[in-house]
Amino acid sequence: MAARFVLLFSTVDTIAVSCRSAATADLLREFYSPRCLPGAAADDPLFELDGPDADGCFSLTGSHSFWRGPGATALVVELQIRIDSYLLERTPYVPIHAGAVAVGERALLVPGMSRTGKSSLVAALIARGATYLSDEYALLDDEGHVHPYPRPLLLRVPGSVPEERTAVPAARLAESIASSPADVSAIAAVCYSDQTEFVLERVPASEGVLYLLQNTPRVVRDDDRTVTAAMRALRTARVYRGRRGDAEAAVEPLLALLAE
């Protein structure tokens, strides 16, 4: 069995994927629906998925990479990491390492590089009713608006050694997934510590520029558009810094920022 699909990232690009088994086709539909559509036979697939094989392993083949490992969700994690890398070099927007959610048309950005707890915090926020934009990249246009990049959430597996990630379909956690841009209303640079209570203080907008630029992927770090997009996002945003422990304890005060 072989099937081709197109994954739609309307604000970024489209990705053609070939599935050589029913199991991988089902995975794609589960994790990327409703943005997973049947592709034409002529579509040149960027990635090919297969498995499970006799050892229970799945595989992913790209133009310059190959991955094989156990676990269906591990395959989705690997696929999404490669999609991120591909799209970052092609997006017309400025990507910032930041979780992004919204209430109405007002967005909250939580900047931070990988392994800083963005995804777990975003998962807690959307479970409380916030609209999901992204758990990894906030996409800013030239006017500073943030566009949705609703990929599957990649969450750390507590206690795993080495540290593992699992994938969760966004629709499983979020009641609402954004389909249009929003104004950046608040930026909260909150560092995670497992031995601290939630602390938050407002800081000058100039610090917000630093938070955004410090969390810009290297591929666009020297792009003049990055500074412009960051400065324009701050025209509508208040900036905060702080510390947090458990994600659940941070949800209410962070959502309150969008109600001010």
CATH number at residue 164: 3.90.228.20
Residue pair 239/205 in contact (Cβ under 8 Å)? The answer is yes
pLDDT of 204 over the 60 cut: yes
Which amino acid, residue 97?
H
Residue 238, pLDDT score: 96
For range 190-212, the mean pLDDT: 88
Residue 183, pLDDT score: 96
Query: H/E element holding 139?
Result: strand 137-140
Whether 35 and 137 share a structural domain: no
pLDDT tens digit string along 138-167?
Answer: 999 999 999 999 999 999 877 665 578 899
Residue 162, pLDDT score: 58
Which residues, including other chains, have CB under 8 Å from residue 52's CB and lie 6 or more apart? 21, 23, 58, 72
Nearest CA among 214, 202, 3, 7 for reference residue 98: 214
Instruction: Estimate to the nearest angstrom the gap between the alpha carbon of 134 and the chain centroid.
Output: 4
Nearest CA among 159, 186, 3 for reference residue 99: 186
Whether 9 and 39 share a structural domain: yes
Domain boundary among 88, 115, 135: 88
Residue 115, pLDDT score: 66
Whether 247 and 158 share a structural domain: yes
pLDDT of 182 over the 60 cut: yes
Residue 93, pLDDT score: 92
For range 249-254, the mean pLDDT: 92
Domain boundary among 62, 88, 114: 88
Whether 38 and 71 share a structural domain: yes
pLDDT of 27 over the 70 cut: yes
| Residue 232 tokens, joined | 């324009």
Residue 58, pLDDT score: 98
Instruction: Tell me the pLDDT band of 192, cut-offs 50, 70 and 90.
Output: confident
For range 70-88, the mean pLDDT: 93
Which amino acid, residue 16?
A
Instruction: Tell me the pLDDT band of 64, cut-offs 50, 70 and 90.
Output: confident
Residue 10, pLDDT score: 65
| Residue 88 tokens, joined | 């970052």
Residue 144, pLDDT score: 95
pLDDT of 89 over the 90 cut: no
Domain boundary among 88, 112, 135: 88
- Structural domains in the chain (count): 2
Residue pair 55/177 in contact (Cβ under 8 Å)? The answer is no
Whether 48 and 131 share a structural domain: no
Whether 99 and 84 share a structural domain: no
Which residues, including other chains, have CB under 8 Å from residue 56's CB and lie 6 or more apart? 70
Residue 90, pLDDT score: 86
Q: Can you give the residue range of the structural domain that contains 25?
A: 3-88
